[in-house]
Structure 1
Amino acid sequence: MKKIVIGILVISLSLFAGQINVAVAANVSYAIGDLIKEFNKTNPDTKVEVTLGSSGKLTAQIKNGAPYNIFMAANMKYPKALYSDKIAITKPVIYAQGSLAILSVKKLDMSKGINLAKDSSVSKIAIANPKTAPYGKAAVEAMKNAKIYNDVVKKYVYAESISQTVTYATTATDIGFIAKSSLYSPKMSMYKEGVNWIDVNPKLYTPINQGIVIINNAKDNKEAKAFYDFILSADAKKIFNKFGYLVP
């Protein structure tokens, strides 16, 4: 009888436990674990399923009916498009501002700044696909504004997302234009500022305002709304700051 009671209790609890599906831009992959852990402190029965990818590809999936409840994009362009098409029920709001950094596992002269990209010691540059990844677009913009684009474009090795760009930068290319947030992952702690990485001057590219929206299928989903509110909360801002983001 005791086993039956426990079994019924487990079943009852599972009926109240919910799951939300969140589409998350790849650059947030380093912070999302901490964000979910903090969210679950006050929402312990909500399971947050995360799908990572480039903002462009995630947007295409959402337009094709992918069952995501919330979209955390790498810039405002894509959530604005979903809201305009009446696929999102909330107007896009900035949850964080991303920034670019240059990473290399090799001993290169980081004092050269972005001009390091055109150095003869650099033959391959990892960059996220600028057509689908906002960080890739920002990297191209920075190089154009620094007037080195024509000198370096032939060196580009395109990645599908900003997280893949980090992989390329640490395994297959000389340098990579990455999301600064990735450097705050524990597994990246071996890379030191001024030695392995430097900031890209933020004046060289348009601020990367990252936007969040609730998708239509979550219109009456209280758990999705709770996670959305959390991402915009002071507690979430502290986590974003910890991972190298600026917050509005």
Structure 2
Amino acid sequence: MKKVILSLVLLCSSIFAGQINVAVAANVSYAINDLVAEFNKTHPNTQVQINLGSSGKFVAQIKNGAPFNIFMSADMKFPQALFEENFAITKPVIYAQGSLAMLSSKELDFSKGINLVKENSISKIAVANPKTAPYGTAAMEAIKNAGLEEVTKDKFVYAESISQAVTYATTAADIGFVAKSSMYDEKMAKYKENVNWVSVDSKLYTPIDQGIVILKNAVDNKEVKAFYDFILSDKAKEIFVKYGYLVK
């Protein structure tokens, strides 16, 4: 009898176990493992498949039939477009607000703020592609508002995503514009604030509202809805704050 009961339990577990497929903006890569781990405390049988990349590229993939259930964008524009074109079944909701930082593997005089990029010693500036990565758009907006477009126009090295911009900033470039959240990853602990990195003045760019939507292939999917609700929960907000985001 015990074996029969055990078999039934295992069968039920397999029936309710499932996988959800989440497209996640690259800047969230540093926080996503903690988020999934926290979610799995209450949903241990749900496998969360995380796909990291640039928001713009995800939009193209979703429109071409990529099997994502949830899209966590680096801005509100991309998920809003998906909602308006009926690729998403929920209106975009802000799950976190991101901010910019400047990073270098070198010890630089970060007291100069963004004006540091016009120095002759800075010949290569890493930035995420502003056409597909919202953090890249924000970086270029900051450059423009600081009046530094002309002196920096030949210095940019473009990365495919904001996570790749971190790599470029510490290898192929002298400095780079990155998501501030990246600086809270344990792998980045060797880079010290005001020595290797500094926050970019938030007055120079539009706050980066990051939006989440449920996609149309997840209609009535309870596991997808559970993860969506979790990302908007107070517990998730605590994790986002831990990684340098602002939350509303």
Shorter-normalised TM range: over 0.9
Deviation at 1:107, TM superposition (A): 1.9
CA RMSD of aligned residues (A): 1.6
Aligned 1:46-85 pairs, distance under 5 A: 46-85=46-85
Rounded Cα–Cα distance in structure 1 between residues aligned with 2:92 and 2:204: 25
Residues 196/5 of structure 1: CA separation in 2 closer, same or farther (3 Å cut): same
TM-score by length of 1: 0.96
Deviation at 1:10, TM superposition (A): 4.4
How many residues align structurally? 248
Query: What residue is the counterpart of 2:112 in the other structure?
Result: 112
Deviation at 1:191, TM superposition (A): 0.8
* Aligned residue type for 1:185: D
Deviation at 1:16, TM superposition (A): 1.9
Rounded Cα–Cα distance in structure 1 between residues aligned with 2:19 and 2:4: 26
Aligned 1:10-89 pairs, distance under 5 A: 10=10, 12-89=12-89
Deviation at 1:14, TM superposition (A): 2.2
Partner of 2:153, secondary structure, is: helix
Aligned 1:155-234 pairs, distance under 5 A: 155-234=155-234
Query: What residue is the counterpart of 1:94 in the other structure?
Result: 94
Residues 5/234 of structure 1: CA separation in 2 closer, same or farther (3 Å cut): closer
Rounded Cα–Cα distance in structure 1 between residues aligned with 2:179 and 2:69: 25
Rounded Cα–Cα distance in structure 1 between residues aligned with 2:79 and 2:122: 36
Deviation at 1:24, TM superposition (A): 0.2
Moved over 6 A (4+): 2-8
* Aligned residue type for 2:101: A
Query: What residue is the counterpart of 1:154 in the other structure?
Result: 154
Deviation per residue, 1:62-118 (Å, 9 max, x gap): 111101000000000000000000110100000000000000111211111001111
Deviates more, 1:124-133 or 1:106-115: 106-115
Contiguous gaps of at least 5 residues in structure 1: none
Rounded Cα–Cα distance in structure 1 between residues aligned with 2:98 and 2:160: 18
Deviation per residue, 1:100-152 (Å, 9 max, x gap): 00001112111110011111111100000000000000000000000001111
TM-score by length of 2: 0.96
Deviation at 1:171, TM superposition (A): 1.2
Deviation per residue, 1:166-212 (Å, 9 max, x gap): 01111111001000000010000111110000010000001100000
What's the % identity of the aligned pairs?
Answer: 69
Rounded Cα–Cα distance in structure 2 between residues aligned with 1:11 and 1:151: 65
Rounded Cα–Cα distance in structure 1 between residues aligned with 2:234 and 2:208: 20
Rounded Cα–Cα distance in structure 2 between residues aligned with 1:34 and 1:193: 23
Deviation at 1:4, TM superposition (A): 9.8
Rounded Cα–Cα distance in structure 2 between residues aligned with 1:9 and 1:167: 46
Residues 3/159 of structure 1: CA separation in 2 closer, same or farther (3 Å cut): farther
Deviation at 1:42, TM superposition (A): 0.8
Rounded Cα–Cα distance in structure 1 between residues aligned with 2:197 and 2:72: 26
Partner of 1:171, secondary structure, is: coil
Rounded Cα–Cα distance in structure 2 between residues aligned with 1:12 and 1:220: 20
Residues 3/122 of structure 1: CA separation in 2 closer, same or farther (3 Å cut): farther
Query: What residue is the counterpart of 1:245 in the other structure?
Result: 245
Rounded Cα–Cα distance in structure 2 between residues aligned with 1:125 and 1:75: 23
Deviation per residue, 1:222-241 (Å, 9 max, x gap): 00000000000000000000
